[in-house]
Amino acid sequence: MTRIAAVQASPVFLDRDATVGRVCARIAEAGAAGAKLVVFPESFVPGYPDWVWTVPAGRGAILGALHAKLLANAVSIPSDATRRIGEAAREAGVVVAVGVTERNDEASGGTLYNTLLFFDDHGEILGRHRKLVPTGGERLVWAPGDAVGLRAYDTSIGRVGGLICWENYMPLARYALYAAGVEIYVAPTWDHGEVWLATLRHIAREGRAFVVGCSMAMRLDEMPADLASLYPPGREWINPGGSAIVAPDGKVLAGPIDCREEILYAEVDLDAARGAKWDLDTAGHYARPDIFDLRVDRTPRRLLNDK
Amino acid sequence: MTRIAAVQASPVFLDRDATVGRVCARIAEAGAAGAKLVVFPESFVPGYPDWVWTVPAGRGAILGALHAKLLANAVSIPSDATRRIGEAAREAGVVVAVGVTERNDEASGGTLYNTLLFFDDHGEILGRHRKLVPTGGERLVWAPGDAVGLRAYDTSIGRVGGLICWENYMPLARYALYAAGVEIYVAPTWDHGEVWLATLRHIAREGRAFVVGCSMAMRLDEMPADLASLYPPGREWINPGGSAIVAPDGKVLAGPIDCREEILYAEVDLDAARGAKWDLDTAGHYARPDIFDLRVDRTPRRLLNDK
Amino acid sequence: MTRIAAVQASPVFLDRDATVGRVCARIAEAGAAGAKLVVFPESFVPGYPDWVWTVPAGRGAILGALHAKLLANAVSIPSDATRRIGEAAREAGVVVAVGVTERNDEASGGTLYNTLLFFDDHGEILGRHRKLVPTGGERLVWAPGDAVGLRAYDTSIGRVGGLICWENYMPLARYALYAAGVEIYVAPTWDHGEVWLATLRHIAREGRAFVVGCSMAMRLDEMPADLASLYPPGREWINPGGSAIVAPDGKVLAGPIDCREEILYAEVDLDAARGAKWDLDTAGHYARPDIFDLRVDRTPRRLLNDK
Amino acid sequence: MTRIAAVQASPVFLDRDATVGRVCARIAEAGAAGAKLVVFPESFVPGYPDWVWTVPAGRGAILGALHAKLLANAVSIPSDATRRIGEAAREAGVVVAVGVTERNDEASGGTLYNTLLFFDDHGEILGRHRKLVPTGGERLVWAPGDAVGLRAYDTSIGRVGGLICWENYMPLARYALYAAGVEIYVAPTWDHGEVWLATLRHIAREGRAFVVGCSMAMRLDEMPADLASLYPPGREWINPGGSAIVAPDGKVLAGPIDCREEILYAEVDLDAARGAKWDLDTAGHYARPDIFDLRVDRTPRRLLNDK
Amino acid sequence: MTRIAAVQASPVFLDRDATVGRVCARIAEAGAAGAKLVVFPESFVPGYPDWVWTVPAGRGAILGALHAKLLANAVSIPSDATRRIGEAAREAGVVVAVGVTERNDEASGGTLYNTLLFFDDHGEILGRHRKLVPTGGERLVWAPGDAVGLRAYDTSIGRVGGLICWENYMPLARYALYAAGVEIYVAPTWDHGEVWLATLRHIAREGRAFVVGCSMAMRLDEMPADLASLYPPGREWINPGGSAIVAPDGKVLAGPIDCREEILYAEVDLDAARGAKWDLDTAGHYARPDIFDLRVDRTPRRLLNDK
Amino acid sequence: MTRIAAVQASPVFLDRDATVGRVCARIAEAGAAGAKLVVFPESFVPGYPDWVWTVPAGRGAILGALHAKLLANAVSIPSDATRRIGEAAREAGVVVAVGVTERNDEASGGTLYNTLLFFDDHGEILGRHRKLVPTGGERLVWAPGDAVGLRAYDTSIGRVGGLICWENYMPLARYALYAAGVEIYVAPTWDHGEVWLATLRHIAREGRAFVVGCSMAMRLDEMPADLASLYPPGREWINPGGSAIVAPDGKVLAGPIDCREEILYAEVDLDAARGAKWDLDTAGHYARPDIFDLRVDRTPRRLLNDK
């Protein structure tokens, strides 16, 4: 049995370095509690740009200023921010999956991705996955990613992979992870509620994997006052949380919890999960490769190539 | 607004013609109640061969006898059985989706398929879908189908399609239906319970479609005594039911109901469903066709081809 | 000398069929005035969804309802709407380029594209170009297109092609048109103002082509009242227009005009334009193909392929 | 806020060493005025060979003599001339971009390039860019360059890069700079006038960069009398200037000025520029790397390679 | 012994179709005289744009108008013009090498190449070579070509190849032809005089090939009057000719002739030429491949590639 | 203007030391006449082994005896012979290029090279070039050299380099000198006549360099009687000479002279030569380094290498 953890917490909004501090502290705390995998929410560093749902696209001056702020606090890979997280992972001896807003330093430097970043328990970066399709208002801040990181990583605790928020509604993307043999499937998100929980349970059974749903618990008063003023009055929680951990048979092992910060823990037994594939193995005996020929273009989407 | 119906009922077990009588009666009843679509459970005609989960595969004599019985009561397409159902659909003015066990009359005549059969409201057969992958014990009675019927049909009430039971855990098969523009997605099944309900809700949101989960409510004493005797004592319901209708946002519109026969009804508003695609359209703006190239081989799996 | 026209006009907002009537009338009017090419604004049929700049993405109910309305009034290709426009083009003997919101009937039917549709003077559809990258708020209604229509068409009045609105800020897309030998470059848009005009002039010189910038002149009171109520009071023009026609040397031949509907005309001399390439031919002697190797993937972005 | 400067001035025509003196003096002057970047016109050292537009190619004796004179006054890199400019940059603490005519000392020694030379504020040479395609008559004196210097440099005031004169009409070359993350884009030139200004404004918006257009203000009587006699009488200004500085939204911050020598200044706010990329990032979220695959051959174009 | 011919003649200046008529007539005449190879001057169709040496680059209006005229009379490959020449070659049973100004129909359509076009004696196009480096003023009308056509063709009379005018001063280009085994080396040109003749003789010996120098004999009064007026008075011949045929030992077999139109003939003995390589074979025993490693990039310089 | 000289003279055949005396005398004479560069013929010391063209290779005894004699009179570098020449150069203040037969003292001591030896005006050896490919019969006495000395030397009178006799028909070797910026190109030779003169003129224009062709004027009676007896009767001149000096435009400045010993002089103006590169610079703007990638292996061809 392996203990895994989902950190339902709040960032220091739009402050990368302070938020990385929180990441490192939570890694240490969960590691001390025996966890071998620690998952953080979508865009935890430096916070989820929730304004995309509140500020109309026509208000360019506000959006531009927020974009500059977000760019300045975005995560470059690698950078001091990633080195600090890696160091915390190494010291705690845990695998880490953390959502960040990443800057495209390899090209214009002005574009952001919604990225899921993986570290092994030696603190090395395993890889990064850039969210393939941002949802609705998110398209105002994040660019679509590529399939370079659409994979599962062999770690000391099994094969770990995941998708971000509503990417989890992309059947072909999920199938790609199943075909990669994912055993612990992390789903950092900004979504919550009963339909989202249903999705976590569905995925667990469909993929015969442990699923870790992980979202922020964040109050409105944690936002800068000028941003907060754009919200209707009387709202306390920007996001109540709803993190949960589900077993490969669809049973909920931990959570969901709402309206508080907390680290969820669950014990996972990969051997049992593997056995459950006897009657359903979506990318195995339960597929029809003679009928469905899925081809994934994994080439990086570079903006310029040197010959 | 359009009324749609899911018939949670019991067949006359292993009696095709009597069960077809029940199908026609329920069509008339639902039509009279204003329904424009009526959905029946998986293999409703002539009943779900639940013995595959109870009789060990080593007991060839029993399995052989049951197979002969099932073959004799299977549905040929077309046949009197299908003509009777079509007539009922025409008289009631409803679209019908009904699960049947179908015999491969086009070849050996000794093989069965788990088939979903569609009629339009003029009583014409729209098409049939043979379940692509039978689950676990089902592989003792049903052969795998092909992709000829993996489609959605334009009907008077919108675009209708569906998959059977755990086929609904095949991401690529579901995606094929989304790409066909399915608006009302039927999911006849033998499954039930909270994880299955979670799956119905997930599919509804993923596909931005109305989902009709439809299963039998069947008691042990409706089985022939010799078959029933193979079950452990004290069990009343072979299958309690669990049928439900879900909206494109994942909300449950009707059901689930357990341990009784009943026709579930729900009112569906396709325009609202289409509008909901603004933020999620799995086989539209929320896909990544540049990354995922899914090719479906729709050629019939003929057992012999004339040149 | 050939006369070309840019129609700065207003649609019947969100009413496809009535707007197509206006398109046909304007084609007839311009044809009677001697024009051989008639250009309409971006998404003229059934109007530009300006709400994407005004309604925050978080207001899903409003956006969903508007999406359903827009879907219902979107243009399918081909359809009666396109046949009517083609007929008008044929009768007037003009080439037509018109912006439409197009529905993805080939897949989910729930996704929209911002499409530029070309007709020849026999009324045949030459092709369609789906905008490659919607801008900011537009990403809430339009999906990104592919490169199938990234081309120029040989017509009776020269080689005609174009891009939509801020696509015109994509250097690689423009280059593809130059490499296709575009001579009359149409730029339907929702943008206006002096920087946009500078862009039209730049493109004209860069591409040594005639450039037709064409935008709507539309007042707020032409919107449905419920939509109009979302705008700040005191605003008369949703878009003042700013259409203009520019010569290959960057000189403005007609326009820009603001705050009125009008058909702009200009006389173009393709021979003079071709001669102007002596000192600048961006996709000719002024390129460096030994250094820049641009490869364009023109495969359609299908959401599902039959094998 | 950072102050940047464009020096609209006149060289000591065809006198390299005296012109370098002017360069150094202007660097000191601008540095004293607070500028952190100082840009000089195209081929400022030792002057723009305007005769290529006036002397027909058939007059080889005149052209040969002028070529010898230009060769003798061309800039070798490195050389005393570059050391003097570097020293001035170091003393003033400014980044310098200066257009020079460069001799190919690495090969025949008889060929010239139109080169843009960058110094950092420590006086070190950052790199050089040889104009890729000389325009029209310029092909009589300058050879085409390579892509070695087609880059942006990280400097103390942001990322600086640029192209020379009508190279700015090469979409692929500009795109390469955007992909390199250029923030301050210098455009030394011999062009001027309203279309050129439109181009500067277009580039600023397209690249979301500050653009510094910089040209000479030079009178005919500053040319040697024998050269001046080749011009039609009555012409006072060989080039009136037209230098200007434009913001990333296309607004003109300084200039254009004509018919006088002057140092233009503008204050630039890179953070604001970065934020402006939220709705347009040509080599970021507004690109389509899945469609456009641009490969740049950056190998030096050596005339001979030792093995 | 094989008879070969060089046509020293004048085009119908800037009239492609009439000049093609002259080409065909000369082919017939030479064929009737027993020639098996007929060579025409550089850019014979539709004439050499000699104005590039007379009109300064600054006179854009004149140059632009001339460019348009030249574009309109340029040769597309294939086209009616090439079909007519091919037909003449077939009828006369001769191999033809003819200089043309070619339009880049594969890209912008606005750029021209100085092309040497080869036909076999069945009238089929063997290939085309686009001049690699236009000379001086020529850079105002022709773009640099690529190495696709830098080859020799096996014909019924031996291996034929060639370079255009001052390309013949490119040692590496000549070497490429020697390495291709050229036996009859054609050198269409606009040059003439004793140094050019020395070059023809040098190449003959260096390459151990027969060399056919072929230039126009054209009087000023054959130019349109407006163009002619740009020349100094008193000049009769724009180009006196100077065509000549040289043997592999450097001896002059025919010509040079000046100030008249005429077809030069010479008898060539390829066997003797091959034997002469015993003491000099530049791309054979007289090379030093251990020291000189020449790599030729023969990839087409496409301006855009479909993926 | 600089005066340069070509010494057309005769050696003391096969007598190294006496011939060196003649070299020193001629250097003094030319220096006194104002020359700054003095060029001597191919293998002037100790004479050109013309017997290779007269004695059949089968006559080993004769060839062996002559080889021994030639070895004994060959030049070692450095040696007294080279020191004497250097001293003469220093005293006269001239640059010297002299052809010698060199012995391979660095290895077997039994092999000879046809070497071109350069001295600066301080008497220092600049370098030596060993002929890369001996011609025909020469292969009986000289071995092929390497590319160590394939270069041009910066001297007080410009950049000086050269090749020996028919090496001048090696396009790649000449190109290497052009790429090294050669300005005065020396061509010591045994060839003569009108084709050779054509080659000198061609090279001058091709390389835009001054070319000094220099050959011996030697009578048959200057040979030892036994050698002379091998020649057919009636021949007076073994080599009549034919030395000449040519300008970068191909014009002959001095010579050719035949059948007498004489020092040719010419005045050269390097500035004019450099200007002439405006329209042709073979290893500059008139090259195509993107197409032709020439790699030269300059490693010495050592016969044994210490590790």
Q: How far is C278 from chain F (nearest CA, A)?
A: 20
Chains C, D: CB contacts within 8 A come to: 150
pLDDT band at F305 (very low <50, low <70, confident <90, very high): low
Q: In total, how many domains does chain D have?
A: 1
Q: Is the pLDDT of residue D307 over 90?
A: no
Share of chain A above pLDDT 90, in %: 83
Q: How far is F291 from chain C (nearest CA, A)?
A: 8
Is D72 domain-assigned?
yes
Q: What is the CATH number of the domain that holds A30?
A: 3.60.110.10
The answer to whether position F286 is within a domain reads no
Does A72 touch chain D if contact means CB atoms closer than 8 Å? yes
**Amino acid letter, residue E177:** L
Subunit partners of chain A (3 or more CB pairs within 8 A): B, C, D
The whole-number pLDDT of residue F307 equals: 59
Q: For E230, name the nearest residue in chain D, comparing CA atoms only.
A: D56
F291 touches chain C (CB under 8 A): yes
pLDDT of residue B230: 84
Q: Could you tell me whether strands F37-39 and F2-8 are parallel, antiparallel, or unpaired per DSSP bridges? A: parallel
Which residue in chain D is spatially nearest to F183 when comparing CA positions? Answer: D108
Confidence (pTM): 0.91
Mean pLDDT confidence for D230-256: 93
Provide the pLDDT confidence category of residue B54 given band limits of 50, 70 and 90: confident
Cβ–Cβ < 8 Å for B3, B33: yes
Structure tokens at C32: 């009677």
C24 touches chain A (CB under 8 A): no
Residue F293 at interface with chain C, using a CB cutoff of 8 Å: no
Give the mutation candidate from C288, C290, C291, C293 for the F interface (greatest F CB count, under 10 A): C290
- Residues of chain C in contact with residue E146, where contact means CB-CB under 8 angstroms, are 289-290
Q: Has E42 been annotated as catalytic? A: yes
Query: What tokens does B49 get?
Result: 């061969």
Note the pLDDT tens digit of each residue in E189-233. 999 999 999 999 999 999 999 999 999 999 999 998 888 988 888
Which one of the listed residues B24, B36, B102, B131 is annotated catalytic? Answer: B131
The C-alpha angle B272, B274, B280, rounded to 5 degrees, equals 115
Tell me which chain A residues have a C-beta less than 8 angstroms from the C-beta of C307: 293
Whether the per-residue pLDDT at D214 is higher than 90: the answer is: yes
Q: Do D and E count as touching (3 or more CB pairs closer than 8 A)?
A: yes
| D293 chain-B contacts, CB cut-off 8 A | none
Chain E contact for C160, CB < 8 A?
no
The answer to whether residue E302 is domain-embedded is no
> Dihedral of the CA atoms E92, E98, E103, E106 (nearest 10)?
70
Q: Is the pLDDT of residue B307 over 70?
A: no
**Cβ of residue E59 closer than 8 Å to a chain C Cβ:** no
pLDDT tens-digit series, residues F211-245: 999 999 999 999 988 888 888 888 899 999 999 99
**Count of alpha carbons within 13 angstroms of residue C190, beta-carbon side:** 24
How far does the CA of residue F116 sit from the closest CA of chain D (Å)? Answer: 22
Query: Partners for B (CB, 8 Å, 3+ pairs)?
Result: A, C, D
Output the CA–CA distances (angstroms, integers) from residue D3 to A30, D24, D98, D186, D264, in the order listed.
50, 18, 17, 14, 10
C57 phi, psi to nearest 5 deg? -60, -20
Substitution target from E106, E108, E132, E148 for chain C, most C beta carbons within 10 A: E108
Chain F residue with minimal CA distance to D103?
A: F284
E176 vs D231, residue with greater confidence: E176
Size of interface D-F (CB pairs under 8 A): 102
pLDDT of A227 higher than 70: yes
pLDDT digits (tens, 9 = 90+) for F126-170: 999 999 999 988 988 998 999 999 999 999 999 999 999 999 999
Nearest Cβ partner for F272 among D68, D105, D306: D68
Confirm or reject contact between B293 and chain D (CB < 8 A). no
Across the interface, do D63 and F279 touch by the CB < 8 Å criterion? yes
The answer to the question of residue D295 being in a domain is no
The answer to whether residue A214 is catalytic is no
Checking if the pLDDT of B72 tops 90, the result is yes
* Contact criterion met (CB < 8 Å) for D57 and E140: yes
3-state secondary structure of D93: coil
Which of C24, C42, C138, C167 is catalytic? The answer is C42
pLDDT digit string (tens) for D139-148? 999 999 999 9
- Please report the pLDDT score of residue B153 as a whole number: 97
pLDDT, position F59 = 84
pLDDT digits (tens, 9 = 90+) for A92-117: 999 999 999 999 988 888 999 999 99
E71 vs C contacts (CB less than 8 Å): 274-275, 277
Q: Are B276 and B260 in contact (CB under 8 A)?
A: no
Determine the Cα–Cα distance for residues D183 and B84; give it in Å rounded to an integer: 75
Q: How far is C172 from chain B (nearest CA, A)?
A: 18
Give the residue on F whose Cα is nearest the Cα of C288: F290
Whether the per-residue pLDDT at B263 is higher than 90: the answer is yes
User: Given a cut of 80, is residue D306 above it in pLDDT?
Assistant: no
Q: Which chain D residue lies closest to B290 (C-alpha atoms)?
A: D290
pLDDT exceeds cutoff 90 at A277: no
- Assigned domain for E218 exists: yes
Mean pLDDT, each 10-residue run in order, chain C (307 residues): 97 97 98 98 97 92 92 96 98 98 90 97 97 95 95 96 98 96 97 97 97 96 90 89 97 96 96 89 93 92 79
pLDDT band with cut points at 50, 70 and 90 for residue A36: very high
Residue A269 resides in a domain: yes
> What pLDDT does residue B306 have?
65
- By CA distance, what is A303's nearest residue in C? C172
ipTM, 2 decimals? 0.95
User: Residue C167 contacts by C-beta under 8 Å, 6 or more apart in sequence?
Assistant: C131, C132, C133, C173
Tokens 């006897």, residue located = A278
Q: Is the pLDDT of residue D18 over 90?
A: yes
Tokens of F160: 């000086």
Question: What's the CA gap between D139 and D127, in Å, rounded?
Answer: 23
Domain span at F63 = 2-278
Q: How far is A53 from chain D (nearest CA, A)?
A: 15
Active centre residues of F (catalytic):
42, 131, 165
A168-195: average pLDDT: 96
Any CB–CB contact under 8 A between E139 and chain F? Answer: no
Residue D100 scores a pLDDT above 90? yes
Q: Examine residue C135 and state whether it is found in any structural domain, yes or no.
A: yes
Are A and D neighbours with ≥3 CB pairs closer than 8 A? yes
- Which of E42, E138, E183, E206 is catalytic? The answer is E42
Task: Kindly identify which residue of chain C lies nearest to residue F292, measuring between CA atoms.
Answer: C290
Q: Provide, as residue numbers in chain F, all residues whose Cβ is less than 8 Å from the Cβ of D296.
A: none
Q: Is the pLDDT of residue E173 over 80?
A: yes
Classify residue F288: in a domain, yes or no.
Answer: no
Chain C: residue whose CA lies nearest to F290: C290
Q: Does D173 touch chain C (CB under 8 A)?
A: yes
What is chain D's mean pLDDT, rounded? Answer: 95
Number of Cα atoms under 13 Å in the Cβ half of residue C244: 25
Would you call D137 an interface residue with chain E, using a CB distance cutoff of 8 Å? yes
Residues 238-267 of F with CB under 8 A from E: 249-251
Asked if C288 reaches chain D (Cβ–Cβ under 8 Å), the answer is yes
Query: Which chains form contacts with chain F, at 3 or more CB pairs under 8 Å?
Result: C, D, E
Please work out, in degrees rounded to the nearest 5, the angle formed at the alpha carbon of residue E150 by the alpha carbons of E205 and D298: 120
